[in-house]
Structure 1
Amino acid sequence: MLPANPLRRCLMIPLYLVMLAPAVRAQSPATDSLETALHQHPEPDQARADLLNTTSRSYFTKNPVIAEKYAVEALEISQRLNYSKGKIWAQRNLALVENTRGNLDKQMQLTLSSLKLAESMNDEHTLSILYNDMGNIFTEQNSPRDALIYLHKSLVIKKKFKEASEISKTLNNIGSAYLALHILDSALLYLRQAEEIKISLNDRRGLAYTYENLGLVSMLQRRLPDALRYHELSSECYHDADNQLGIVKSSLNLAEVQTFMGNFTDAEKNLTHAYEVNSTLKNVKNDMIYYKIRYELDSARKDYQAAFEHFKAFTDRNMGFFNLEKSRQISRSQEKYEAEKKQQENVLLKKEQQIHLATIQQQRILVLSAALLFVILLMITFILYRMYKRQQVLTRALNSKNQEVSLQNHIILEQNTTLESLNQVKDKIFSVISHDLRSPLAILEGLLFLLKDEKIEPEQFRYYTDELWRDVKNTAYMMDNMLQWASNQMKGIGVRADDFDLTLLLNQEFELLQTLARQKDVMLHHEINGAVLVYADPEMIRMVLRNLINNAIKFTPGGGRITVSARIDKTAVEVMVRDNGTGIPMENQHRIFSNIYYSTNGTRNEKGCGLGLHLSKDFVERNHGRIWFHSTPGSGSSFSFTVPLSEETDANVRGYTLILQNGGTNGMSVLK
């Protein structure tokens, strides 16, 4: 029995959009003839560069490694000869190789470099091909609206040259962009036009891409038999062209359709074939899609244990794509901000230039007037006197304006600094929410979904509850740190100092952390006997203790020991949290209390947001204390901080000692 609404669920995952279609078809002889021609022409000139580019293009879909080798040699020769055409096609071939590996950022950089050269040469034919490539890249980066701008520009130029083969490719790619936008009527219109032209040209290599897109449209329209037929046709065409990347995509598409139709045996075969071919190509996007379809197949076969594992693998890879897209959006926002800032600066400079030109014009008029009235001495003296007085007025006015401009510039710089700080806070919060908080929530969502639909037994669910509880608890601590840090950065936190018993506060935190320690089989122990009255903000010190003890638990393996001790001098108490865990690598120790937010996973893959120690340092220093640490990799770490003693220390107040060990609540209180 298939999972409920399988098509609806497949739409939640990014579609297998068509990969970059070949923009130029090799018109030279077969690959072996090209190899022979290269062997017969060893001279590193423009002719060899062209041969290398043509040979590289013929290997693109068959063996990307060989294609890259020839493209690199062609680029070296073209750069040495300053051969612009050779550089354009060598960089374009390298961009296509990066596409087969899923490295869209590198492909974009190489394609833009080629595009700039073609624009400088005003080569319309080459521009039409590169515009087509840019459109494909934007489609794969989930920016289909940007893709349509380049694709329509490409189509206009190709229709001007009346090249049917090239027109069909761009029509296919425009259909892909509308498919990504879920505008299926427009997608079908362009795909049908592309199919008609390719059939008339017997272009089976190009038909592979069009049939794949038609299959994806059929899946979205819930016409599974049509989708299966189109994907089978696409697979045949990809195999005929020996297009390895296309073979992987068609196998994945067939596996998904067969899963929805209940043909689990053929789906398993196609998934296995896709995995074997992609292990050579190492395309990260197809690797993510493989685990998504594998999860659907396992769920349909009621193998919920395997479905859960494959769902986790898919979630991890999907998070990588999400973070990459977030980085691209942040980069685009920064570029837009810089462009607007430069535009404003240009406007200000233009206004200043106009003011200077006006001043110069006034000075010229004054000089001309003085020359005309030179014949009359008294008039000259009078005019010079007036000019002198006027210049004084202008100078004072100019100085006043300069002071106003300087003050406004100072205000703008302060506002820019504030905005940059708020942007850093926002980016950090978005980074934590998108990466560190989504992962445990995604796993919890998957388990609850299986439990809700009765696809997993309660005994199996309880097997994962301890791991989920630990992840949720760590997430709660990360949220506390993040909210405290964000509040501190954006509006500041006031210190509310008071007298309180540090021992009592420490015991309360032990009660909260005992379950985490028990789960990791870690001994948690403090050696503070008797009340220790200090004067500080209790909530800040509580956060410091919680972060230091939680970090110690995080990096201490099972069977380890954590000790909290204190030493009192005349004015302050020094608290030390010592563990025998993994310690901190020497190369990372300088980052612990710096403004660089440093975080690594714990001994059981516990995650953090990198704010705890930075926040602890800030809180200790706000309470007139200091914090430091010593660490030996492989032997453990000790973190120490000081808190001022209260002036009303009562030596008769009772103190406590608490020991938490192994799996039970082995707590012990000793009154002193």
Structure 2
Amino acid sequence: MDRPRIAPPLSLPTPLYMLPASPLNKSVLIPLYLLLLSTAVTAQQAINDSLQIQLSSHTKNDTTKVKILNQLARSHFASDVAAAAKYGAEALHLSDSLHYAPGKIWAWRNLALVENTKGHLDQQMQLTLNALRLAETLGDSYTLGVLNNDVGNIFTELNTPRDALVYLKKSLAIKLKRNEKTEIAKTLNNIGSAYIALKIPDSAMLFLEKAEKLKLELNDQRGLAFTYENMGIVAMLQHRYNDALRFHQLSATYYKNAGNLPGVVKSSLNLAEIQTKLGDLKGAEKNLEKARLLNDTLGNVKNEMIYFKIRYELDSARKDFVSAFASYKEFSSRNIDFFNAEKGRLISRSQEKYESEKKQRENILLKKEQHMHLATIQQQRVLVLSAAALFLALLLITVMVYRLYKRQQELYLELNNKNREVSMQNRIILEQNATLENLNQVKDKIFSVISHDLRSPLAILEGLLFLLKDEKIDPVQFRIYTDELWRDVKNTAYMMDNMLQWASNQMKGIGVKADDFDVTLVLNREFELLQTLARQKEVKLSHELNKAIMVYADPDMIRLVLRNLINNAIKFTPSGGEVLITAIQHSDLAEITVKDNGTGIPVENQHRIFSNIYYSTTGTRNEKGCGLGLHLSKDFVERNHGQIWFNSMPGSGSSFTFTVPLSEEPEINPRAYTVVVQDHPLGGVSVLRR
């Protein structure tokens, strides 16, 4: 996230750039806070309420619940630190029990941000480094960009900006590669903060102006608050107080509109300081008191120190030296505590560095001792060899034995390598055999369908055309068989389509090309042809999808699923029966049902419907199938992150239901659809859609 530069005020002349301070009367805080942030709080509360409803309705302890908890923790971060800590801890616990690494990463990150609002930078650093180490094992570039940015921010706040720049520039490189403009703007802003800490205002302003340009293009008002705050700090460093006042006023407005309580506190302190320097003592008093009141909910001790420093400067400007002295004492005591904490951290790091260097020196000494021992051993070997000159024959035998042993070891190693190569080749051959066996099964299934299921309707068509061609049957009699022949040919075409899709899926796989589309529109495009098939059997076919349902899936796959389910329902529904398609929209998915009152599925065969056993029976008018439609439909639904199931009662009909994820961005101008069935003047029925 964006960070303004927070410089620890260790001495009185140091400029104050940061956060708020001091305890307050909570009865005064609550109405004042609501007055300041009412609009932003209302919008944020609506988001929080929506997430809370999702959490209440989702009772299962799974990764979806982890994501909702992390979203709640992030949304409460700027307004309710206690709630953010509660949701973050719950997300971390659940992620740990599920062994869900992404959930743990973002839970640690949310808890780190909570520690930042309290001024506990050491705890924030530890939590963020935990998240970064786990993210590095996953290799998620987006997460690595965010967490490197966070580590850089913490180093800036710890007043070690050179360390910060290492992580911030690494984060910027990742984000530039991903071309994420919003994230790039945040890191540019934070690099500016690091250069402010290094007291290089020109470099800081260069990066801040780049961040401002990007954020204005993106209309990122929340992010502009941080950037204008940093620009105000640069202007203060350069003693351009009127420019600093303008930047801090812009920052205060954006923080207020975003409902960012820590930001409102910071901007109030910044305005109080610059107004004091410009002589606007009443304005400074008003902003300083506002910061004091609001900071009580944050409990940030560093803000208290800054508050008393500005209070000292304001009282001095008023010539109220008694109050100024009291404020200075409060500031000094807190400054000493802060300095001692910083000193403790520096001592701790120095001790770690000393221990590391001490171990390195010990290692060097150990290596020297080892070299000395080796030299002594070499000398002893020379003496032994000299003394063993009389036993030369024995030594020669020993050498020969040693060489034979080495040769044996080399042969043994070579044999092992050969064995490994043979094992690898055997494994490759087995894998190739399995692939060939699978392709043989695909081939056998294709030839089986062609020989048993496709030849029959083609033979009937060939016979009728032969009779018509030889004028052994007149056109009037031929028309009697036209409807039945058309139905058989259409069923054969659907069978062929299913077979080709299945064969392609088995042999090389079919990639999912997901997109946002209207499932009602897809159904209406297939409906007229299916309606004709239904009329041929005198089956009533209708649907209740009267409005746009935007989903995110592969439209061709969902079209094939709808066609297979509706065609199956028509196939097993006798004359006079009914097939109805309905849809229900849930919070994140659409549930589509195809229901008929046909023959149903025998109980003993229901377990075979979605299995790998290709199961096919003839319809109520002896329509044939290849047994691939439902198996292919299940595969396509699950590839699009949905589920499919059925309920069937023999003699009473069946209902097949599948789900498909809803689009995250619903259609801007949703259309309503009405299906009108009317008699055609030349006979038959036509279907209109509007």
Mapping of residues 612-623 of structure 1, within 5 Å:
none
Q: Which has the higher contact order (CA 8 A, sep 6+)?
A: 2
Q: Is 1:192–2:193 an aligned residue pair?
A: no
Query: Given the superposition, is the C-alpha separation of residues 224 and 47 from structure 1 closer, same or farther in structure 2, using an over 3 Å criterion?
Result: same
Of the candidates 254, 261, 266, which is equivalent to residue 244 of structure 1? Answer: 261
Mapping of residues 162-561 of structure 1, within 5 Å:
162-351=179-368, 376=393
State TM-score, norm by structure 1. Answer: 0.51
CA contact (8 A) 1:374 1:380 kept: no
- What is the alpha-carbon distance in structure 2 between the residues aligned to residue 361 and residue 30 of structure 1? 78
Q: Is 1:59–2:76 an aligned residue pair?
A: yes
- What is the alpha-carbon distance in structure 1 between the residues aligned to residue 373 and residue 98 of structure 2? 48
The residue that corresponds to 1:77 in the other structure is: 94
- Return the offset for 1:78: 1.4
The residue that corresponds to 1:580 in the other structure is: none
- Return the offset for 1:42: 2.2
Greater C-alpha radius of gyration: 2
Any idea what SS the aligned residue of 2:259 has? Answer: coil
Give the letter for the 1:274 counterpart.
A
- Return the offset for 1:234: 0.4
- Return the offset for 1:120: 2.8
State TM-score, norm by structure 2. Answer: 0.49
Give the letter for the 1:12 counterpart.
P
Query: Given the superposition, is the C-alpha separation of residues 331 and 380 from structure 1 closer, same or farther in structure 2, using an over 3 Å criterion?
Result: same
Query: Given the superposition, is the C-alpha separation of residues 41 and 373 from structure 1 closer, same or farther in structure 2, using an over 3 Å criterion?
Result: farther
- What is the alpha-carbon distance in structure 2 between the residues aligned to residue 277 and residue 203 of structure 1? 25
Mapping of residues 649-668 of structure 1, within 5 Å:
none
Of the candidates 160, 172, 183, which is equivalent to residue 155 of structure 1? Answer: 172
- What is the alpha-carbon distance in structure 2 between the residues aligned to residue 73 and residue 370 of structure 1? 76
CA contact (8 A) 2:79 2:260 kept: yes
Q: Is 1:145–2:162 an aligned residue pair?
A: yes
CA contact (8 A) 1:370 1:380 kept: no
Structure 1 unmatched ranges of 5 or more: 1-7, 20-26, 382-672
Any idea what SS the aligned residue of 2:319 has? Answer: coil
Give the letter for the 1:194 counterpart.
A
Aligned residues: 368
- Root mean square deviation, CA, Å: 3.4
- What is the alpha-carbon distance in structure 1 between the residues aligned to residue 341 and residue 266 of structure 2? 22
Q: Is 1:97–2:114 an aligned residue pair?
A: yes
1:610-643, CA deviations, whole angstroms, 9 ceiling, x for partnerless residues? xxxxxxxxxxxxxxxxxxxxxxxxxxxxxxxxxx
Give the letter for the 2:14 counterpart.
I
CA contact (8 A) 1:194 1:210 kept: yes
- Paired-residue identity, %: 61
Query: Given the superposition, is the C-alpha separation of residues 190 and 375 from structure 1 closer, same or farther in structure 2, using an over 3 Å criterion?
Result: closer
- Return the offset for 1:371: 11
- Return the offset for 1:192: 0.3
Query: Given the superposition, is the C-alpha separation of residues 306 and 15 from structure 1 closer, same or farther in structure 2, using an over 3 Å criterion?
Result: closer
- What is the alpha-carbon distance in structure 2 between the residues aligned to residue 68 and residue 375 of structure 1? 80
Structure 2 unmatched ranges of 5 or more: 1-8, 21-43, 399-690
- Return the offset for 1:366: 10
- What is the alpha-carbon distance in structure 1 between the residues aligned to residue 78 and residue 364 of structure 2? 50
1:127-165, CA deviations, whole angstroms, 9 ceiling, x for partnerless residues? 221111111111111111111111111111111111111
Query: Given the superposition, is the C-alpha separation of residues 352 and 272 from structure 1 closer, same or farther in structure 2, using an over 3 Å criterion?
Result: same
- What is the alpha-carbon distance in structure 2 between the residues aligned to residue 379 and residue 213 of structure 1? 82
Give the letter for the 2:65 counterpart.
R
1:565-586, CA deviations, whole angstroms, 9 ceiling, x for partnerless residues? xxxxxxxxxxxxxxxxxxxxxx
- What is the alpha-carbon distance in structure 2 between the residues aligned to residue 323 and residue 280 of structure 1? 25
CA contact (8 A) 1:291 1:313 kept: yes
- Return the offset for 1:378: 12
The residue that corresponds to 1:431 in the other structure is: none
CA contact (8 A) 1:53 1:90 kept: yes
The residue that corresponds to 1:114 in the other structure is: 131
Give the letter for the 1:13 counterpart.
T
CA contact (8 A) 1:18 1:209 kept: no
Give the letter for the 2:242 counterpart.
P
The residue that corresponds to 1:16 in the other structure is: 17
CA contact (8 A) 2:18 2:266 kept: no
- Return the offset for 1:372: 12
Give the letter for the 2:262 counterpart.
L
The residue that corresponds to 1:556 in the other structure is: none
The residue that corresponds to 2:60 in the other structure is: 43
